[in-house]
Amino acid sequence: MEKAMMSIVILGAIAGLTEGFGVLPDGPLNAAVDGTFMFTTSLSPTQTPFVSVVWSFEVINNIISSHAASNSSPPEYKDRITLFPSTGSLELRSLTTADSGEYSVNIIPAGEATLVGQTTLNVYEPVSNVTVDPKSADLVEFKDSVNLSCTSFGSPTSFLWLNDTSEVTASDRVQFTDGGSVMTIVNVTRFDQQQFRCRASNPASHATSEPVPISVSFGPENTNLMLSSPQEYFAEGSNIRLVCSAVSRPDALFKWFLNGNLLTDTGPELTLTNIQLSQSGNYSCQASNSKTLRHQTSQPSAITVLEKILDSSVKPSINLTVEGTSVNLTCEACGSIFTRTWKKDGSDLILDDNMMLSDNNRLLSFNPVNRKDSGEYSCNISNPVSSDEAEYNMVVN
Ligand SMILES: *[C@@H]1O[C@H](CO)[C@@H](O)[C@H](O)[C@H]1NC(C)=O
Ligand SMILES: *[C@@H]1O[C@H](CO)[C@@H](O)[C@H](O)[C@H]1NC(C)=O
Ligand SMILES: *[C@@H]1O[C@H](CO)[C@@H](O)[C@H](O)[C@H]1NC(C)=O
Ligand SMILES: *[C@@H]1O[C@H](CO)[C@@H](O)[C@H](O)[C@H]1NC(C)=O
Ligand SMILES: *[C@@H]1O[C@H](CO)[C@@H](O)[C@H](O)[C@H]1NC(C)=O
Ligand SMILES: *[C@@H]1O[C@H](CO)[C@@H](O)[C@H](O)[C@H]1NC(C)=O
Ligand SMILES: *[C@@H]1O[C@H](CO)[C@@H](O)[C@H](O)[C@H]1NC(C)=O
Ligand SMILES: *[C@@H]1O[C@H](CO)[C@@H](O)[C@H](O)[C@H]1NC(C)=O
């Protein structure tokens, strides 16, 4: 406890050398070059003139000695000071950086003990011409880092950096070095695409640089292929529009592939007009970014082109059907055949023991044919884009 008290006393004594004590305010006090500074004492104005007031700079340099209303000042101070006799305060004008230092005053009031005061004044060059190097930066996300370095004229004592309008704080990715005049952004992200500015300050002034645009390229991501109509099967001769999109800065460039083979088309849209069977296959697009040199390929979209079903027919193996013989009805059509379904007299066909369907429902066989098999047989041939139906009226004699 006693030790702690002792330390405080010693610290106080050391601090007293640089900070104000006595009748002057605590320092350091701040002022700007070319400005004016008023050293105001803590004394109330007195009616009785002081016996003497003496101001000095850096202990040994006399600024003004005032004894019984007669003042003397050296030439370097004469024209730029004013002494206020009732308080002992002093105004100092046309400041230069050479005026930085320790000021002390010694006042002898009439019939009282001597009063002393001491403080420190720092005169700062106003901060100006704050510039950041580089003036701009063109970076790639998750790859590049950048150092922004701030310089200024004047006597700056601190720097801070603005990200658009908010102050940048240090983090894993953002470091400050050289007293804050260098800001390093490590491994930039797309969100760092902002205007950065440096503000240099000293206690007397501050100034801010021009904004430094940082651009950050990224992507492509989420490369996605969409068809104008979301289906797999298209009729021959139809038109299809494929649209590719990706998240990218700058905008992605696109290439197109059919079954992995590069097509000549470029751009985000691929239009297939009057599409032919040979154009069936898996389509995909690839987005690429000229800045990041990265690319990404979409999931493939399968497109199957089908011929329309035309000219369907049901033909008997024999025109004159006689009970007890065998007969085949054949269902045929042109086009891309997926399914055939049979009906008899408008209802779904029920196969009896003497009937058989074969060759994917192409052939309906009767063996032997019976008089009850007489009727209207229809066959519907279809694929996902079209269908056609044919009929045959079978009379069993
Ligand atoms: C500002 O600083 C830059 C770089 O330090 C210098 O080239 C330029 O002349 C200065 N401009 C003024 C007005 O001082
Ligand atoms: C950059 O950041 C990304 C995501 O924040 C991370 O995946 C990557 O490893 C980092 N790269 C480097 C070189 O630090
Ligand atoms: C940034 O400055 C640091 C230290 O001066 C240096 O190690 C680093 O390579 C610099 N980075 C860039 C991107 O210039
Ligand atoms: C700049 O601000 C944006 C949001 O305004 C933030 O996402 C980004 O991380 C900031 N970058 C730096 C380097 O402070
Ligand atoms: C299209 O892709 C599917 C699987 O994604 C594959 O089964 C099929 O064979 C491909 N078609 C062509 C024409 O390559
Ligand atoms: C059945 O008759 C049609 C029209 O009369 C004929 O074109 C066809 O060739 C005949 N079929 C058989 C198997 O005789
Ligand atoms: C009917 O088709 C079957 C199977 O192809 C064949 O074996 C049979 O000979 C055909 N019958 C007639 C009468 O054409
Ligand atoms: C033929 O079948 C297709 C597919 O099942 C169906 O859409 C169409 O309506 C049918 N046609 C007729 C004439 O019944």
CATH label of the domain that carries residue 249: 2.60.40.10
Confidence at residue 3, expressed as pLDDT on a 0 to 100 scale: 42
Last residue of a domain, one of 272, 291, 306: 306
Confidence at residue 14, expressed as pLDDT on a 0 to 100 scale: 38
349 and 329 inside one domain: yes
Residue pair 148/182 in contact (Cβ under 8 Å)? The answer is yes
Last residue of a domain, one of 256, 278, 306: 306
Write out the chain in H/E/C secondary structure. Answer: CHHHHHHHHHHHHHHHHHCCEECCCCCCEEEECCCCEEECCCCCCCCCCCCEEEEEECCCEEEEEEECCEEECCHHHHCCEEEECCCCEEEECCCCHHHCEEEEEEEECCCCCCEEEEEEEEEECCCEEEEEECCCEEEECCCCCEEEEEEEECCCCEEEEEECCEECCCCCCEEEECCCCEEEECCCCHHHCCEEEEEEEECCEEEECCCEEEEEEEEEEEEEEEECCCCCEEECCCCEEEEEEEEEECCCEEEEEECCEEEEEECCEEEECCCCHHHCEEEEEEEECCCCCCEEECCCEEEEEECCCEEEEEEECCCCECCCCCEEEEEEEECCCCEEEEEECCEECCCCCCEEEECCCCEEEECCCCHHHCEEEEEEEEECCEEEEEEEEECEC
- Mean pLDDT, the chain cut into blocks of 10 residues (397 residues total): 38 39 88 95 91 95 90 94 95 96 95 93 94 97 97 89 96 96 97 97 93 97 93 93 97 97 96 95 97 96 94 92 92 93 93 92 93 94 94 91
13 and 76 inside one domain: yes
Q: How many CB atoms within 10 Å of residue 133?
A: 13
18 and 114 inside one domain: yes
Candidates 317, 330, 354, 361: which one to mutate for ligand 7, based on the most atoms within 8 Å of Cβ? 317
Residue pair 78/93 in contact (Cβ under 8 Å)? The answer is no
80 and 119 inside one domain: yes
118 and 175 inside one domain: no
Ligand 8, atom 8, lies closest to the CA of 387
Closest atom of ligand 5 to 260 CA is: 14
Ligand 6, atom 7, lies closest to the CA of 319
Between the CA of 397 and the centroid of ligand 4 the distance, in Å, is 91
Whether 142 is in the pocket of ligand 2, judged by its Cβ within 6 Å, is yes
247 and 280 inside one domain: yes
CA 79 to chain centre: 59
Structurally, the chain folds into a number of domains equal to 4
Instruction: Looking at the CA of 171, name the nearest ligand.
Output: 4
287 and 317 inside one domain: no
Ligand 2, atom 6, lies closest to the CA of 142
Ligand 5, atom 12, lies closest to the CA of 281
117 and 13 inside one domain: yes
Which residues form the pocket of ligand 7, taking CB atoms under 6 Å from any ligand atom? 317, 326, 328, 363, 365
- Give the domain range for residue 274: 219-306
Confidence at residue 15, expressed as pLDDT on a 0 to 100 scale: 37
Confidence at residue 4, expressed as pLDDT on a 0 to 100 scale: 40
Confidence at residue 21, expressed as pLDDT on a 0 to 100 scale: 63
